[in-house]
Amino acid sequence: MATVTSPTRRSVTAVGPIQAILRKGFFVVEGWLDQIFTPAWNPFHHFGALGFFYYWIVAVTGIYLYIFFDTSTSTAYTTVEYLTTEQWYLGGVMRSLHRYASDGMVLMMAVHIVREFAFDRFRGARWFTWVTGVPILWFVIASGVTGYWLVWDKLAQYVAVRTTEWLDWLPIFGEPVARNFLSPTNLDDRFFTLLIFLHIAVPLFLLLALWIHLNRVTRPRINPPRGLAVGTFVMMMALAFIKPAVSHAPADLSVVPTILNLDWFYLAAYPLMDVWSHGTVWGAAVSVTLILFLLPFIPPMRRPSAAVVDLANCNGCTRCEEDCPYAAIEMERRTDERPFDRQAVVIDARCVGCGICAGSCPTATPFRIGSDLIPGIDLPNPSISTLRDQLDRAVDNITGHPKILLIGCDHAAQVAQLTNNRIAAVSLPCIGMLPPSFIDYALSRKHADGVFVTGCRDGECRNRLGVRWTEDRLNGKRDPALRKRVPRNRLAWHWAAPTDLTALRREIENFAGRLADLPTADPPTIPTTRTARPAPEMPTGAQAND
Amino acid sequence: MIKAIRLMAQIAVYGGFAALIGYFSDSPAYTNFAGDKAVIVLSFAHGAEHKGECQKLSREELQKLAPNMRKPTSCPRERLPVVVKLDLDGTEIFHAALAPTGLAGDGPSRAYQRFVVPAGRHTVVARLRDTKRKSGFDYSTTKTIELRPSQSLAVDFRADVGGFIFE
């Protein structure tokens, strides 16, 4: 049976096999967590937002701790001990939350990076978000390291000495910074004042870096769903009471710390400084950073063609601008003679070629019979026109009953594997590219008895918002909405990852069973003639399929 | 019932997450240093003599300079390297000519070296040369020390207090 796919399917790359393994792992785990938390609360869909949430916990608890903290070598330790032991019910809890939320932030960041890598969300137009994320790694680690320093216990002593020795390898300091920790007499309170300044300034820079990081992401999720936030906060609180954060013995520069309880989230690289030379550790750190920076630029560049605006069909309705997940469309003053205020303009460098804009365009309707199917905004390949041709071709080969048109996404469950004599499939770069009028078209033209839509699992959309917008459009909550005349019992959708083929097949079979039980009353039809007629003038905000 | 199972599963996931964070926030313990050893840290920042001699400028040479730049002598900025040598129980453990820092080579020479040694009694001989002499040293200190396990002994150098300081 015919299956038509878009040309943006993943190609093989050097890191492809690693990504495939990781992706499969994520699909499996996220499938379990969807069952446990529901997709909306699935923590794996909110790594970035959880990282932000932990940042705010760290900030608030840090302000409280700072009120009591004394920036002096002789009293820093005692003030932290006071908070930990005498004021355990508040100060101690704050300290524990400060530590555990910081650790949670590192963990979220690490898994966030791996997940984005696994799902190939760092290439093409997405390079900016990836690259601007790399300095965030350093800011987070620097924030944590300077924090551990402030406690001025044995661990702080170890971290201080190793860090400054490592920094001294760079020939930029007139006097070795590590000399500050040579003996108890070498260290003064001013150095601690500098440290507390760093521990406040670096997280502020981190916040700035996070803002830049999200600059090309529209509607970024920076807050987790309330239920998930409450759950994770209660978890942190419980951990703070069950296992309060404590200090080592006070620092003593005349004695080398021997056994240390490292915070492995922040200090995992420190043991390397004990076995490798500082130059080697610098080399490793710089190499890892460079690899991360360069990852988006390693061939194949895989930059799909950007969307194209056709001014003759653009009425400046702004839907494409609102729906674009990557801020790749801007509305600008009209440059032609048409009686509209604005027109859509695509910023090619930001466009990932998902086609969500084409799906949102009211002129992207297959019913257009008076002109070629050229929407106001479209992908060069596959275009909306191609999609209609593909759909027509695919359903022509159906011989069984009930006839089902399966519309899927290149990055979700592969619809090609589900075709048979009753099911024809069309695959899009993103399900968000599907104009709802295509469903109306397939049913009203009797191309199919039912339409089944599938795409990435909820919260896992390769292009962030494709699934959300599609669901809203099909539910009539978002323009362009699916027309009311479309019989809902002939439409079904189910979001499925590539690992969910069995479940998807089951859903389709159930749908086929329901279709078979339906009375044979025909869905509404409209003429099929495509005679050349001038395109009707589109008023602002009008839906061509209404 | 399904809701209860789901809630239990959520608690289990949160519990696992908490266990992960709680454990790796301070475990496993890391042994940074063998308890029967001690450390000697040789560190200083000290500028050696300038490489060249100061020269008195002639009247003609001074006239060529801007009025505010007319110092009677011209001194080269570049310093000599500081030569340092450290012996432990008669064995040389460090010997280096430390170049001056700075783009013009006019900054202090700097040293920061850690030596892990067995705890116990040791004789340390520290020597330093910061002048143009070709052999020998300008400063020399011999000290017998009793290093406790895990002790960190700093060997600093400050010309203004007479040379090496053991603390």
pLDDT tens, position by position, A18-54: 999 999 999 999 999 999 999 899 999 999 999 999 9
Q: Would you tell me the crossing angle of helices A127-150 and A154-168 to the nearest 10 degrees?
A: 130
Contact flag A239-B18 (C-beta cutoff 8 Å): yes
Q: Does the pLDDT of residue A534 top 70, yes or no?
A: no
φ, ψ of residue A489 to 5 degrees: the values are -75, -5
Q: How many angstroms separate the CA atoms of A304 and A356, rounded?
A: 14
Q: How many angstroms separate the CA atoms of A486 and A493, rounded?
A: 14
Contact flag B14-A176 (C-beta cutoff 8 Å): no
CATH number of B37-50+80-166: 2.60.40
In the numeric block, the tokens 């070795």 are attached to: A176
Contact flag A256-B21 (C-beta cutoff 8 Å): no
A35 contacts on B by Cβ (under 8 Å):
6, 9
In chain A, residues under CATH classification 1.20.810.10 are 65-92+119-220+237-297
Class of domain A65-92+119-220+237-297: mainly alpha
Question: What's the pLDDT tens digit per position in B34-48?
Answer: 888 999 999 999 999
Contact flag A245-B25 (C-beta cutoff 8 Å): yes
> Cβ distance A31 to A497 under 8 Å?
yes
What pLDDT is recorded for position B1? 63
Contact flag A107-B21 (C-beta cutoff 8 Å): yes
Q: Does the pLDDT of residue A4 top 70, yes or no?
A: no
Question: What's the pLDDT tens digit per position in B99-155?
Answer: 999 888 889 999 999 999 999 999 999 999 999 998 899 999 999 999 999 999 999
Question: What's the pLDDT tens digit per position in A262-282?
Answer: 999 999 999 999 999 999 999
Contact flag A235-B102 (C-beta cutoff 8 Å): no
Q: Does the pLDDT of residue B157 top 90, yes or no?
A: yes
Per DSSP bridges, beta strands B139-147 and B73-74 are: unpaired
φ, ψ of residue A378 to 5 degrees: the values are -155, 160
User: Measured between alpha carbons, how far is residue B21 from residues A26, A59, A143, A448, A471 in Å?
Assistant: 20, 19, 18, 53, 36
Question: What's the pLDDT tens digit per position in A400-457?
Answer: 889 999 999 999 999 999 999 999 999 999 999 999 999 999 999 888 999 999 999 9
> Cβ distance A199 to A143 under 8 Å?
yes
- Band of the pLDDT at A192, cuts 50, 70, 90? confident
State the nearest Cα–Cα gap between A287 and chain B, in angstroms: 25
The set of residues, in sequence order, having a beta carbon less than 8 Å from that of A542 and lying 6+ positions away, is A315, A317, A362
Q: How many angstroms separate the CA atoms of A147 and A141, rounded?
A: 10
Contact flag A256-B20 (C-beta cutoff 8 Å): no
List residues of chain B with CB under 8 Å from any CB of chain A.
6, 9-10, 13-15, 17-18, 20-22, 24-27, 29-35, 38-39, 41, 43-45, 101-102, 107-108, 110-112, 114, 150-154, 156, 167
Question: What's the pLDDT tens digit per position in A54-73?
Answer: 999 999 999 999 999 988 88
The residue of chain A with its CA nearest to that of B45 is A175
What pLDDT is recorded for position B3? 87
How big is the CA angle at A116 (ends A115 and A122), to the nearest 5 degrees? 160
DSSP character at residue A310: -
State the nearest Cα–Cα gap between A138 and chain B, in angstroms: 19
- Give the start-end residues of each E strand in B27-90: 30-31, 37-46, 55-56, 73-74, 82-88
For residue B32, give the nearest of A43, A158, A165 by CB distance.
Answer: A158
Contact flag A103-B152 (C-beta cutoff 8 Å): no
Mean pLDDT computed over every residue of chain A: 89
> Cβ distance A247 to A152 under 8 Å?
no
Element spanning A450, H or E: strand A450-453
> Cβ distance A169 to A282 under 8 Å?
yes
List alpha helices for A69-188, DSSP H: 76-81, 93-118, 127-150, 154-168
> Cβ distance A162 to A270 under 8 Å?
yes
Of A252 and A171, the structure prediction assigns the larger pLDDT to: A252
User: Measured between alpha carbons, how far is residue A536 from residues A371, A426, A441, A481 in Å?
Assistant: 9, 29, 19, 20
Q: How many angstroms separate the CA atoms of B166 and A334, rounded?
A: 79
For residue A183, give the nearest of B15, B32, B167 by CB distance.
Answer: B167
- Band of the pLDDT at A174, cuts 50, 70, 90? confident
Q: Which of B27, B36, B41 best tests the A interface by mutation, with the highest count of A CBs <10 A? A: B41
Contact flag A258-B31 (C-beta cutoff 8 Å): yes
Q: Does the pLDDT of residue B89 top 50, yes or no?
A: yes
How big is the CA angle at A431 (ends A426 and A436), to the nearest 5 degrees? 85
What pLDDT is recorded for position A23? 92
How remote is the C-alpha of A30 from its chain's centroid? 14
> Cβ distance A467 to A496 under 8 Å?
no
State the nearest Cα–Cα gap between B146 and chain A, in angstroms: 13
Q: Does the pLDDT of residue A1 top 50, yes or no?
A: no
Q: How many angstroms separate the CA atoms of A186 and B41, rounded?
A: 13
Percent of chain A that is helix, strand, coil (3-state, to 5): 55, 5, 40
Chain A to chain B, count of Cβ pairs less than 8 Å apart? 122
For residue A183, give the nearest of B9, B102, B154 by CB distance.
Answer: B154
In the numeric block, the tokens 């019979």 are attached to: A369
Per DSSP bridges, beta strands B109-118 and B37-46 are: antiparallel
- Band of the pLDDT at A338, cuts 50, 70, 90? confident
The residue of chain A with its CA nearest to that of B114 is A165
Q: Which of A235, A252, A272 best tests the B interface by mutation, with the highest count of B CBs <10 A? A: A235
The set of residues, in sequence order, having a beta carbon less than 8 Å from that of A232 and lying 6+ positions away, is A43, A50, A53, A104, A224, B14, B17
A231 contacts on B by Cβ (under 8 Å):
10, 14
CB atoms within 10 A of CB A283: 12
Contact flag B107-A158 (C-beta cutoff 8 Å): no
Per DSSP bridges, beta strands B152-158 and B37-46 are: parallel
- Band of the pLDDT at A397, cuts 50, 70, 90? confident
A179 contacts on B by Cβ (under 8 Å):
43-45, 112
Contact flag A235-B17 (C-beta cutoff 8 Å): yes
Contact flag B43-A179 (C-beta cutoff 8 Å): yes
For chain A, state the CA radius of gyration.
29
What pLDDT is recorded for position A2? 46
> Cβ distance B31 to B150 under 8 Å?
no
What pLDDT is recorded for position A171? 82
Q: Would you tell me the crossing angle of helices A47-68 and A93-118 to the nearest 10 degrees?
A: 150
Per DSSP bridges, beta strands A308-309 and A377-378 are: antiparallel
Contact flag B150-A107 (C-beta cutoff 8 Å): no
Contact flag B32-A274 (C-beta cutoff 8 Å): yes
Mean pLDDT score, B85-102 = 94
Mean pLDDT score, A95-105 = 97
In the numeric block, the tokens 């702080």 are attached to: A156
